[in-house]
Amino acid sequence: MSPSGWCLASGFDPLYKGWDGETLLYDQFSGDTHVVDDLCMAIIELLAKGCLSEEQILKKIVQYIDVDPGIDFDPVVQQRLAALVKLNILQCPT
């Protein structure tokens, strides 16, 4: 039953409130508190619905966020994914 693709870390149980593109987020499981930007929040809200592959994330993320055309989106998302894993918010594909 090991999850496939990118998932929210097991146990991750967030409360959050956002202002002007920044969100203050509290994980009731770990007790850690974070400030994250909109793209991170979009990823978190997206994965809250279930695990996704990187391709799926890149495809669906635009439903959560307006992206200006003409900027290379993928590396920025990958960067966020890696960072959120380090914070025990996401877990890597297994």
Partner 1 sequence: MMARPLLSEVLINPDRVTGLSLQQWDLLIRQARHADLLARLAYLLAGHNDLPEPAQSHLDSAWAFAQRQAQSVRYEVANIKKALSDLDIPVVLLKGAAYVMAGLPAAPGRLLSDIDILVPKQRMEAVENALLLYGWRTTHHDEYDQKYYRQWMHEIPPMKHGVRGAVIDVHHAILPPTARLKPDSSKMLATAVALAGQMEICTFTPVDMILHSATHLFHEGELEHGLRDLVDLDALLRHFGTQNGFWEQLIERAVTLDLTRPLYYALRYTAQMVATPIPSFAVKAVARLGRPPAALLWLMDFLFERALRPDHVSCDDRYTALARWMLYIRSHYLRMPFHLLFPHLIRKAFKSHKGSTSLAEPTVAKE
Partner 2 sequence: MPHVTPLNSLSFARFSSQLAGAGVAFSVGPFVVSLKSSITSVAEGVYQLYGEYPLIAGGADRFVDYYLALEQSQGLRRWHRPQVKFSYDGLHPFKPLPLNQALPLFEWGLNWCVASQMHSYLLIHAAVIERNGVAIILPAPPGSGKSTLCAGLVSRGWRLFSDEMAIISMADGQVVPCPRPIGLKNESIQIMRDYEPQAVISRASLDTIKGTVALMKAPSDSIRRAAETARVGGIIFPRYQTNAEALMTVRSKAQTGLYLADNSFNYSVTGARGFNMLAEVVDGAACLEFTYSRLDDAVRIFDALEWSA
Partner 3 sequence: MNDDRGPSQDDAESKSVSNVTDEGQTVNQSRRKLTTAGLIAVPLIMTLSSKSALGMNYRCTVSGMLSGNLSHPGEIGDCMGRTPGFWSGGNFFSGGNPKTYTGGWPAPLLPTTPFHTSFGGVFEGNTFIHFVNNQSTSYTLEEVMRLNGTHDHYQLGAHTVAALLNAKAAELGVNPFGGGREFGLTPNQVITLYNTYSASKPIELKTLFEIWNQVNATTRLSYQTAISQFGITIPNP
| Contact of 47 with 6, CB cutoff 8 Å | yes
Structure tokens that stand for 53 in this block: 């592959």
Interface with partner 1 by CB under 8 A: which residues?
10-11, 28-31
Under rule CB under 8 A, residue 26 binds partner 2: yes
Could you give the dihedral angle defined by the CA atoms of residues 14, 50, 89 and 80, in that order, rounded to the nearest 10 degrees?
-120
3-22 residues near partner 3, rule: CB under 8 A: 15-22
User: Measured in whole angstroms, how far is the alpha carbon of residue 53 from the centre of its chain?
Assistant: 12
Which of residues 9 and 57 has its CB atom nearest to partner 2 in the complex?
9
How many of the other CB atoms lie within 10 Å of CB of 27?
A: 20
The one among 4, 33, 78, 79 contacting partner 2 by CB under 8 A? 33
Query: Which two structure tokens, joined as six digits, stand for 82?
Result: 């890696």
35 binds partner 2 (CB under 8 A): yes
**Contacting positions for partner 3 (CB under 8 A):** 15-22, 28, 30-42, 45, 63-68, 71, 73, 76, 79-80, 82-84, 86-87
